[in-house]
C-alpha cells in the first residue's frame, strides 16, 4: 500500500467519554487521511494483563474506523542519568525482557475472551526513547524482531528517536520519528540531515510542538514536509500545545491541510 502521508497522533489522553472524539470525528470527516494513533495507558500497557473498560471501549472504537491505525507505546529507557549533566534519557537501558512482556500484553488484549470480546487489536509498536547512535542496534533489532513475530494483526514498528539517527536503524524500523521539538527549533533545523538528505524520506516522521505560527504558515509547513514534490516525509504531527494530553487547538486545520496534501500526492500533483 502506497503511503501518501499520515498524521502521527501521540494519543496520551485518558479516554473518558468524549475525550477521543476529536480523532474519531476527524477520521470520519477526512477519510483520505490516515491516522497512526499512539495509545499509552500507563507508560506502556500498565501493570495488569488487560486494559480497563475505558481503554477497551475507546480502542475498539479506534479499530472500527478504517483510516485509523493503532500503535502501542513501549519505552526503552529505565535510567535518566546519562549525559554530561547526568540528566539525559538513557536509551535501551530497559531489559529486553520487559519490552517483550509489554509487547505480549498488548498482543494478548485481543485474544478472544481473555480481556474482552471487543476488537482491541493493535497495528504496531511505537518504541519511545529510541537510540540514535549505532551502539544499540542489536537491542533495537531484537526488540523489533520480537514485535513483528508476536503481533498478529499488524506489524508496523516506529522508533521515536527525536533526532537524526545512524543509518543502521533505517533497515530495522518501518518508520523513525527524527524530530520532536518546538517550532523555534524546527525553523532553524537542517531537515536534510534528519532523513539522510531525502534518502529515507518515506520512512521519516516529525512531531512539532509549541507551534505558534498562523494558519497560512501551518498550511505551508504541512505541504513542505509532506508533499511528494519535496521528497515527502511519511508522517507529521503539529500542535500549538506543549503537552500531548489534549488535542491542539489547531487540530482541525492540521487535518484539513493534511487531506489537501494527501489528495495532491495521490493525484501526482
Task: Judge whether 220 and 229 are in contact, CB under 8 Å.
Answer: no
Tell me phi and psi for residue 120, to 5 degrees: -115, 35
**Segments making up each domain of the chain, as ranges:** 6-267
Q: Given a cut of 50, is residue 242 above it in pLDDT? A: yes
At 1 the pLDDT is 46
Question: What is this structure's pTM?
Answer: 0.96
**What mean pLDDT is predicted for residues 100-124?**
95
Give the residue, 211 or 269, on which the prediction is more confident. Answer: 211
Residues, the chain, total? 269
67-110 confidence digits (pLDDT tens):
999 999 999 999 999 999 999 999 999 999 999 999 999 999 99
Q: What angle do CA 202, 164, 208 make, to 5 degrees?
A: 75
Return d(Cα 101, Cα 10) in angstroms, integer: 22
Mapping DSSP onto H, E and C, the string for 149-164 reads HHCCCCCEEEEECCCC
3-class DSSP state for residue 266? Answer: helix
Q: Which residues have a Cβ under 8 Å from the Cβ of 95 and sit 6 or more positions away?
A: 78
Look-up: residue for cell 551502539?
A: 135
Task: Judge whether 199 and 165 are in contact, CB under 8 Å.
Answer: no
CA 235, chain centre distance (Å): 8
**Which segments within 45-112 are labelled E, that is strand?**
68-75, 79-82, 88-90
Residue 268 banded pLDDT, cuts 50, 70, 90: confident
**What mean pLDDT is predicted for residues 51-59?**
97
Average of per-residue pLDDT values in the chain: 96
Q: Which residues have a Cβ under 8 Å from the Cβ of 143 and sit 6 or more positions away?
A: 74, 76, 96, 99, 100, 127
171-230 confidence digits (pLDDT tens):
999 999 999 999 999 999 999 999 999 999 999 999 999 999 999 999 999 999 999 888
Percent of the chain with pLDDT over 70: 99
In the DSSP assignment, the letter for residue 213 is -
At 230 the pLDDT is 80
Q: Given a cut of 60, is residue 31 above it in pLDDT? A: yes
**What mean pLDDT is predicted for residues 30-43?**
96
189-204 confidence digits (pLDDT tens):
999 999 999 999 999 9
Q: Given a cut of 90, is residue 264 above it in pLDDT? A: yes
At 2 the pLDDT is 62
Q: What angle do CA 170, 240, 206 make, to 5 degrees?
A: 5
Spelled out in words, what is the top-level CATH class assigned to the domain 6-267?
A: alpha beta
Q: Pairing between strand 79-82 and 88-90?
A: antiparallel
Q: 104 is written with which cell numbers?
A: 505480549
Amino acid at each position: 500500500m502506497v503511503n501518501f502521508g499520515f498524521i502521527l497522533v501521540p494519543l496520551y489522553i485518558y479516554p473518558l467519554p468524549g475525550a477521543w472524539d476529536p480523532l474519531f470525528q476527524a477520521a470520519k470527516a477526512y477519510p483520505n487521511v490516515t491516522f497512526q494513533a499512539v495509545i499509552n495507558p500507563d507508560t506502556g500497557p500498565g501493570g495488569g494483563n488487560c486494559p480497563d473498560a475505558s481503554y477497551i471501549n475507546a480502542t475498539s472504537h479506534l479499530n472500527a474506523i478504517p483510516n485509523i491505525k493503532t500503535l502501542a507505546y513501549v519505552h526503552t529507557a529505565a535510567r535518566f542519568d546519562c549525559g554530561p549533566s547526568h540528566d539525559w534519557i538513557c536509551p535501551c537501558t530497559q531489559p529486553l525482557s520487559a519490552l517483550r512482556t509489554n509487547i505480549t500484553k498488548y498482543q494478548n488484549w485481543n485474544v478472544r475472551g481473555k480481556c474482552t470480546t471487543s476488537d482491541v487489536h493493535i497495528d504496531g509498536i511505537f518504541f519511545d526513547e529510541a537510540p540514535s547512535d549505532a551502539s544499540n542496534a542489536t537491542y533495537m533489532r531484537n526488540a523489533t524482531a520480537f514485535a513483528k513475530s508476536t503481533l498478529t494483526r499488524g506489524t508496523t514498528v516506529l522508533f521515536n528517536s527525536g533526532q537524526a539517527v545512524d543509518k543502521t536503524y533505517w533497515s530495522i524500523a518501518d518508520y523513525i520519528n527524527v524530530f520532536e521539538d518546538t517550532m523555534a527549533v524546527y525553523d532553524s533545523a537542517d531537515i536534510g540531515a534528519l532523513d539522510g538528505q531525502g534518502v529515507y524520506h518515506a520512512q521519516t516522521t516529525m512531531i512539532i510542538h509549541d507551534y505558534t505560527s498562523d494558519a497560512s504558515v501551518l498550511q505551508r509547513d504541512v505541504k513542505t514536509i509532506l508533499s511528494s514534490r519535496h521528497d515527502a516525509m511519511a508522517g507529521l504531527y503539529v500542535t500549538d500545545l506543549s503537552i500531548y494530553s489534549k488535542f491542539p487547538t489547531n487540530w482541525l486545520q492540521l487535518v484539513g491541510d493534511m487531506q489537501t496534501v494527501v489528495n495532491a500526492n495521490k493525484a501526482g500533483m
